[in-house]
């Protein structure tokens, strides 16, 4: 006898087991893949403006290639630390608590362990299985339900539960999904919504690929002005500050590492203001003063600038080292644990504009 649960199951080899055990199942545990079990990459707000991100992520057509969540390459490139890297490294991209719960569910013969993936199965089946294998999760599920319809899970589970004569519990672990099952109570456990980012070069290349044949073009626009660190100084800053003492390993997942420089202003400077500061490319030396953080949210360093004409957005001047994507710059004001740096060191910087990409309609 066929059961509804097997129709969307990409683990076809497990359907016989599901059929034979469904009547005696006491618990169904469901785990959401995207941004719950796995820190799925999202468009980087430090690369694209808000309107462009909305265009990519709110496309109602799941089959459109101009849709961030329909791009297989986004998952293919996840975890890479170099553009030329070939291996798939997903360390640090999984929710370890959910991984432990999945292992416990899988070990219980009276529990049906289900992974829910709201994606197009024809495009993503092999990629999802490949990602699960890197975390040794590929054989931990009785069923992996995959469909682009966000209501698909509700429909399939509702149609399956009448066949589970011993069913006592349905639990759904998700960051955004609230499971609704006809005729039975369901425990929806909300887990933190967590994401990651791709290498900037790869992300821009993916977006350019998405735009091919679409009536849009990718353009640069001035986003803000900085005392921008040189590449060597940025590496030095991150080497000295991304340590176990300041940013422990358990706090790093989900953080975006910046260390770009000191913000002058959020818009293009007037010519008079620019002249007052010394002009574009004016070189300065920045000295480290103290480090502080709001644990798990934002990590920063107070500095001094060896220029009497220096002006900065925040006073005293600050370099943001890392923060969560939703952490606002003003949260630096909440930092109360400033500690003088163990070593005095200086960094080279120059006045520059930071540019950001925007997607706009092509001019006719």
Q: Which element (helix H / strand E) includes 103? A: helix 96-107
User: DSSP code of 363?
Assistant: P
- Per residue in 101-120, is it b (16+ CB within 10 Å) or e — as a string? bbeebbeeeebbbbbbbbbb
Q: Which residue has the tokens 């496309």?
A: 59
User: DSSP code of 12?
Assistant: G
Long-range contacts of 6-9 (CB under 8 A, 24+ apart): 6/143, 7/156, 8/121, 8/145, 8/146, 8/147, 8/152, 8/156, 9/143, 9/144, 9/145
Q: Which domains, from first to last, does the chain contain?
A: 4-190 (3.40.50), 220-361 (no CATH)
Say if CB 172 and CB 186 are below 8 A apart: yes
Distance (Å, rounded) from C-alpha 33 to C-alpha 175? 9
Distance (Å, rounded) from C-alpha 319 to C-alpha 306? 15
pLDDT digit of tens for each residue in the chain (364 aa)? Answer: 467 888 889 999 998 988 888 889 999 999 999 999 999 999 988 788 888 998 899 888 887 888 999 999 999 999 887 767 777 788 889 999 999 999 999 999 999 999 999 999 999 999 999 999 999 999 999 999 999 999 999 999 999 999 999 999 999 999 988 998 877 779 999 998 888 888 888 999 999 999 988 888 898 876 789 999 998 899 899 999 999 999 998 888 878 888 989 999 887 788 888 889 999 899 999 999 999 999 999 999 999 999 989 999 999 999 999 998 788 889 999 999 999 998 889 999 999 988 888 898 876 4
CB-neighbour burial class of residue 339 (10 A; exposed 0-12, middle 13-18, buried 19+)? exposed
β pairing state of 339-340 and 27-32: unpaired
Q: Which residue has the tokens 């959910």?
A: 98
- pTM for this model (two decimals): 0.72
């Amino acid at each position: 006898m066929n059961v509804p649960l097997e129709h969307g199951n990409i683990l076809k080899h497990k359907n016989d087991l599901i059929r034979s055990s469904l009547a005696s199942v006491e618990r169904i545990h469901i785990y959401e893949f995207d941004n719950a079990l796995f820190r799925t990459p999202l468009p980087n707000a430090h690369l694209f403006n808000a309107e462009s991100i909305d265009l990519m992520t709110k496309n109602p057509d799941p089959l459109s290639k101009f849709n961030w969540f329909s791009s297989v390459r986004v998952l293919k490139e996840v975890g890479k630390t170099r553009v030329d890297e070939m291996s798939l490294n997903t360390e640090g991209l999984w929710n370890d608590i959910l991984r432990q719960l999945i292992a416990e569910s899988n070990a219980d013969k009276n529990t049906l362990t289900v992974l829910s993936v709201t994606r197009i199965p024809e495009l993503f089946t092999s990629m999802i299985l490949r990602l699960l294998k890197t975390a040794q999760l590929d054989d931990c599920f009785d069923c992996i339900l995959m469909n682009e319809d966000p209501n698909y899970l509700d429909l399939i589970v509702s149609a399956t539960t009448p066949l589970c004569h011993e069913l006592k519990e349905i639990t759904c672990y998700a960051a955004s999904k609230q499971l609704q099952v006809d005729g039975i109570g369901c425990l929806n456990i909300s887990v933190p919504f967590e994401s990651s980012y791709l290498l900037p070069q790869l992300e821009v290349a993916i977006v350019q690929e998405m735009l091919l044949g679409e009536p849009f073009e990718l353009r640069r626009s001035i986003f803000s002005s900085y005392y921008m660190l040189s590449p060597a100084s940025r590496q030095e800053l991150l080497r000295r500050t991304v340590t176990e003492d300041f940013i422990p390993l358990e706090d790093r997942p989900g953080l975006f590492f910046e260390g770009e420089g000191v913000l002058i202003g959020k818009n293009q400077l007037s010519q008079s203001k620019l002249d007052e500061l010394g002009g574009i490319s004016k070189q300065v030396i920045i000295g480290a003063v103290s480090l502080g953080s709001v644990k798990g949210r934002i990590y920063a360093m107070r500095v001094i600038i060896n220029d009497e004409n220096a002006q900065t957005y925040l006073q005293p001047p600050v370099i943001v080292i890392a923060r969560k994507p939703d952490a606002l710059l003003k949260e630096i004001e909440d930092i109360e644990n400033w500690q003088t740096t163990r070593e005095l060191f200086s960094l080279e910087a120059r006045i520059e504009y930071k540019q950001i990409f925007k997607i706009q309609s092509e001019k006719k």
